Amino acid sequence: AIIFSIFQMIGTHYGLGKHTGEMDQYQFPTLIKIVLASDTFYFLCNWAVKHALLVFYTSIARDTPFLISVYIMHFIAFAFGLSSILVVLFQCRPFNKTWRGTDVDGYCINLDAFFYYNAGVMLGTDVILYIMPVVFTWGLQLRRTQRVGLSCLFGLGGLVLIASAIRMHTVHLLITKPDFPWHFANAMICSVIENHVAIVVACAPSVKVVAMLFFPRFTSSLRSVVSK
């Protein structure tokens, strides 16, 4: 996530966030290379976060049907993450056609279709991932403080879904109103928020250990929830 964010900051020095008409054309190939690297680390981060969440869910899903659903989502997350990275890296043949465009003979995949598919599947899997813990804990007998803790955790998941939905809208603008540096920057802002908030949610079981040192009363309730 840090490397992904660093590439975004570097990209601003090469026109990311500007309108196409404001860019120097010599910057464009370098910007595409940065975007290529950035996208790769974005999908790697998202891939890792999804699996981290699913590992956490394994600790709260005791029934066999719930565990099976976690394993199925592991497979879907793995296949989706790997395919996304491969498409980003090998979207054009030869490889340098990705940033050199028409200056090089070859061909590229339909990126518009990929962006739509990827954003849609990303949003769909996020919705499923953040609904799963609600289903897993639906029948638990919890005290009010425990429910508040879970509600806060699921609320952060809601922020991830909002960021993912806004990202899908920016992808639509990127395709229908071509202004790549401007619209792609907006999409990346949503992606940064999405990944970083998701990391916070995935790290909740570990954060409780640190929080116990400062808020022992509150975290005792959270600990009892996670241990079930």
**pLDDT tens figures, 193-215:** 888 888 877 776 666 555 555 55
Residue 146, pLDDT score: 62
* pLDDT average, residue stretch 28-39: 90
Residue 77, pLDDT score: 93
Whether 209 and 217 have beta carbons less than 8 Å apart is answered as: no
Task: Check residues 227 and 26 and name the one with the higher pLDDT.
Answer: 26
Measuring CA to CA, which residue among 103, 109, 127, 140 is closest to residue 50? 127
What's the CA dihedral at 161, 162, 168, 173 to 10 degrees? -170
Name which of 147-156, 172-181, 190-199 the model is least confident about: 147-156
Residue 59, pLDDT score: 77
User: What's the pLDDT band for 91 if we cut at 50, 70, 90?
Assistant: very high
* pLDDT average, residue stretch 21-28: 83
Residue 175, pLDDT score: 82
Whether 154 and 197 have beta carbons less than 8 Å apart is answered as: no
Q: What are phi and psi of 105, to 5 degrees?
A: -75, 145
Cis peptide bond upstream of 94, omega within 30: yes
Residue 36 scores a pLDDT above 80: yes
* pLDDT average, residue stretch 183-202: 83
Distance CA 28, CA 7 (A): 15
Q: How many CB atoms lie within 10 A of CB 81?
A: 20
Find the distance separating the first CA and the last CA of the chain, reported in whole Å. 30
* pLDDT average, residue stretch 179-193: 85
* pLDDT tens digits, 93-151: 998 898 888 888 898 998 888 888 888 898 899 888 888 877 776 666 666 666 666 66
Residue 40, pLDDT score: 92
Residue 182, pLDDT score: 87
Q: Is 92 helix (H, G, I), strand (E, B) or coil?
A: strand
Measuring CA to CA, which residue among 203, 184, 45 is closest to residue 122? 45
* pLDDT average, residue stretch 44-54: 89
Q: How many helices (H) and strands (E) does the chain have?
A: 9, 2
Tokens encoding 186: 């907006």
Q: Is 175 left (phi over 0), alpha (psi -120 to 50) or beta?
A: alpha
Distance CA 168, CA 31 (A): 22
